[in-house]
Each structure stands twice: as structure tokens, then as C-alpha cells.
């Protein structure tokens, strides 16, 4: 049990409302009575992420350019839900197939993480799929140019330590998933 108190929202106004970027400005009252009139919240869609492992114990990664950072990153296949009706596991399976051409028949939910709860609203749903199989070519979106990269399971920790794998959701899924299957 905690004695902490939530912040009270006095006013809330959407200041940017675009399909790809939504920002809300809240006027809030802190538990100590202080009022903050410009607390901005980024309303982001939920993300589904898949940790796919082949029968040869290789992890299926995607390498792609991320414009916000201006760099290429090794990540696990992931993406937002296509609709409000799509569930997290379906989204993760769809993204796996679209981005890599791999499919999975057995999937385990690993966790639901909060991306950045201080300023953002979204969750990241993490899944594990073993014995994935390549069945098709990629079906990429217009903004995607993705290289599929297979990395032996035993090499992943070293790549994290050396900074070759550094995206937070990917690193979390790797630690959670690989600890389950050892």
C-alpha cells in the first residue's frame, strides 16, 4: 500500500492531433498543491513485438533506418496494431510475417511494458515464438526498407554489450525470452 497520490488534471487540450503524432497539453495540480499548466503528453499507439527463434536457435532480427535517431538499428520485428479490433498477438504475428516472411504457430506472451510512462501513453506487448519458419517474401510498408538478419542465440548478449543491439523493447524481449527458454 502507498500513500502516494495521483496528479489531478484541471484541464486537458489536444494541441496536435494527427494520425502519426498526437500531443495533449494538461494543466495539472500536484499533490502538494502546485499547479503546472504545460505538462505535455505524447499519445502513442500500442506496439506488438515478436522475439522469433528458428529451430537452429537463430533469432530473426530486422535492420532498418530510424529517422528520429538518424541511424540503422538491429531490432526484433514489431509494429502498431492495424485497427482497434486487432489484438496484440495477432499484431505481433502479422508484423513478423510482413517484415521478415517468417511465421509462427506457437506463441507465448512475455510481458506488457510501459514505453515511457512519464510522458507517453503506449504499451509494448512482447511475445516469444520458437521454431519460426520462412514461408514468404516480405510485405513492407512504403516507409520500410528492411534487411532480415539471423543471429545465433548465443551471440546476442555480446551484441547488446557492444551496443550493436540497443533498442529498449528489443533488449527487454531478449532478456525475458531467452531467460525462459534456457
Residues 138-163 pLDDT 10s: 999 888 899 999 999 999 999 999 99
Residues 37 and 101 both lie in one domain: no
Q: Are residues 110 and 29 in the same domain?
A: no
User: Would you say how long the chain is, in residues?
Assistant: 182
User: Nearest 5°: CA angle at 156, between 175 and 91?
Assistant: 60
Strands (E), the chain: 8-18, 21-29, 35-43, 47-54, 58-66, 71-75, 78-80, 102-103, 107-114, 123-134, 147-152
52 with 14, same domain? no
Instruction: Tell whether the model's pLDDT for residue 20 goes beyond 90.
Output: no
Q: Beta partners for 49? A: 78, 126
Q: Cell numbers 498543491 correspond to what residue? A: 33
- Tell whether the model's pLDDT for residue 116 goes beyond 80: yes
Query: Looking up cell 499507439, which residue turns up?
Result: 45
Give residue 83's pLDDT: 82
- 1 assigned to some structural domain: no
Q: Is residue 2 part of a domain?
A: no
> Would you state the pLDDT for residue 52?
98
> Are residues 120 and 53 part of one domain?
yes
* Mean pLDDT of the 75-100 span: 94
Place of cell 502519426: 20
Query: Could you tell me the residue range of the domain that residue 24 belongs to?
Result: 8-43
Rg (the chain; Cα; Å): 19
pLDDT tens for 58-84 read 999 999 999 999 999 999 999 999 888
**Predicted structure pTM score:** 0.92
- Same domain as 131, residue 59: yes
Per-residue pLDDT, averaged over 95-119, amounts to 95
The pLDDT value recorded for residue 2 is: 87
The reply to whether 78 and 97 lie within a common domain is yes
DSSP code for 69: T
Asked if 169 and 87 sit in the same domain, the reply is yes
141 and 113, same structural domain?
A: yes
Q: Are residues 84 and 62 in the same domain?
A: yes
Cα separations in angstroms, 46 against 81, 114, 131, 166: 7, 9, 26, 20
Q: What is the mean pLDDT of residues 122-148?
A: 95
How many domains does the structure of the chain reveal?
A: 2
Instruction: Say yes or no to pLDDT of 182 above 80.
Output: no
Residues 10-25 have a mean pLDDT of 95
**Burial environment of residue 76 by CB neighbours within 10 A (0 to 12, 13 to 18, 19 or more):** buried
39 and 51 share one domain:
no
Whether residue 38 is found in the same domain as residue 104: no
Amino acid at each position: 500500500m502507498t500513500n502516494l497520490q495521483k496528479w489531478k488534471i484541471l484541464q486537458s487540450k489536444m494541441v496536435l492531433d494527427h494520425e502519426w503524432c498526437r500531443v495533449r497539453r494538461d494543466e495539472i495540480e500536484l499533490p502538494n498543491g502546485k499547479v503546472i499548466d504545460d505538462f505535455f503528453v505524447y499519445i502513442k499507439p500500442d506496439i506488438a513485438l515478436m522475439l522469433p527463434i528458428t529451430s537452429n536457435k537463430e533469432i530473426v532480427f530486422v535492420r532498418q533506418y530510424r529517422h528520429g535517431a538518424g541511424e540503422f538499428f538491429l531490432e526484433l520485428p514489431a509494429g502498431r496494431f492495424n485497427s482497434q479490433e486487432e489484438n496484440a498477438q495477432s499484431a505481433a504475428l502479422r508484423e513478423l510475417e510482413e517484415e521478415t516472411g517468417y511465421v509462427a504457430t506457437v506463441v507465448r506472451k512475455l510481458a506488457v511494458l510501459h514505453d515511457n510512462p512519464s510522458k507517453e501513453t503506449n504499451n509494448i506487448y512482447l511475445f516469444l515464438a520458437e521454431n519460426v519458419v520462412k514461408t514468404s517474401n516480405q510485405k513492407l510498408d512504403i516507409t520500410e526498407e528492411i534487411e532480415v538478419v539471423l543471429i545465433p542465440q548465443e551471440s546476442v548478449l555480446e551484441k547488446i554489450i557492444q551496443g550493436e543491439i540497443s533498442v529498449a523493447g528489443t533488449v527487454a524481449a531478449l532478456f525475458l525470452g531467452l531467460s525462459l527458454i534456457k
